Chain A
């Protein structure tokens, strides 16, 4: 534990060196969030969140329901644009690019920032088409290339051996865990740099959940992963960094951010301590 290297400033949560990486590695922020507030129909759901998310790391967002974790996640790929009455203020930089800048296209941004939802959401198409549809829409239409990417990402998520002989079957015929891995594969096919995951395991049985969790661990380093989870043990197992959200008043706030070990073993804030020890929340 080298928490002395954490340069916690009063309002900005910044970093210490990468937990798992060599000492020479200087963590680079992939996403910089500055003063992000989010309102639904004028009611604040998230209040002035400032946070850096580091490249190649897994950052877990923890906290009770309704504290704005999912809203925070959807603000990063501007999925909040789709929600009527949702208003976002503040600044988010993804790889130093302002996502609210008029020159930033939502489609381009979302290609860089993939997302996996709580419930598996395969399209009611074949397994193959689930992967090729987004690729085609992003201009990758060559059949051999699409086939290569399909095999590559299905192997990445460990689904290839299970489905390679029935790629033309409906994706809805897969089990819940397989569907969720297909959704992860679908997100990976677009070669994003960042992957947002909204409780990807909570709708799965323990076995499938374990498989998906192992998969997320394997993606560490290649992708910057932000994962919302209610499963504190899971957050502790897989995350490098953890951000603890809490509802104060009516809006969600970021209470504490730091390396996972720090958050779970020696949190600086008493709310965090109470939550991770199961006293509250």
Chain B
């Protein structure tokens, strides 16, 4: 049975139009991503080598590699994640599991998290400089930088974790409680594993932000490109290195491209790892 009334034709056309629009936007986003990636590969791959990863920068980064930069970056990231994750996730657990959604306290905490999430990173940098570097006397150090980044990560991690915990059906809590399980047991055995993919996604988002952070680290971890001896040493993060090479160092384009390629590859790896991890955790929980 075929209908070919004008109304019907119009409906079909509109349907096609919407489909086309959806496909076009997907294509556009993928194109932008692939373009950036291709540009980085084109510009950076020639300069990228084992030595580039294993040597420390010389001549303001024009020659040599990025070994010390990588170490600093990872140390800053480690400090930030290790500090932020416990605080953020316990906050999320409190908000989602232990207090009512509409309680004044919950609302206040949520509001401050939203405000924190909107604060520009340069402001975090100034705060970190004033508080960690000067007031606490940590100076320009990896520790200052990491702690500043932790402050930036808090709202992202806490909000995503809370959202993740809220997606876990209430029926699990009810039936676990009806079986005489304590709240802690329910949380550890049921709710956290069920929310793990969202927690991992939030962590990723946070690590992505932290890896790409430049402004907040400028005033806190500094830009000394030596290999750091301890957490109290100044260290230059990868994003800052790229910024410095492309802005302040004439002839630094090639290493800047290569560093950017390394940064994006790192982000990709972390993405893939975290997804695999979340998936594996879910499977393991079902198996055991």
Contact = CB atoms under 8 A, between A and B. Distances in A.
B180 A190 contact: yes
B276 interface: no
B286 A110 contact: no
Interface stretch (A94-102, A129-137, A151-159, A248-256): A129-137
B215 interface: no
B166 interface: no
Contacts, number: 73
Interface of B: 100, 171-182, 185, 189-190, 193-194, 285-288
Contact of A134 (B179, B193, B285): B179
Interface stretch (A30-38, A113-121, A239-247): A113-121
A121 B286 contact: no
Give the interface residue-count category, chain A: 20 to 34
Nearest to A115: B178
B178 A137 contact: no
A121 B175 contact: yes
B178 A77 contact: yes
A108 interface: yes
Contacts of B288: 125-126, 129
A187 interface: yes
At the interface, is chain B mostly helix, strand, loop or mixed? helix
A134 B181 contact: yes
Contact of B287 (A84, A119, A123, A168): A168
The 6 closest A-B pairs by CB, nearest first: A110-B180, A115-B178, A121-B175, A134-B179, A111-B180, A107-B180
A61 B265 CA distance: 63
Nearest to B193: A124
A79 B180 contact: no
A137 B172 contact: no
B177 A119 contact: no
Nearest to B288: A129
Contacts of B100: 84
A186 interface: yes
B175 A117 contact: yes
A126 B174 CA distance: 19
A164 interface: no
Contact of B285 (A82, A125, A138, A190): A125
A138 B194 CA distance: 22
Nearest to B168: A124
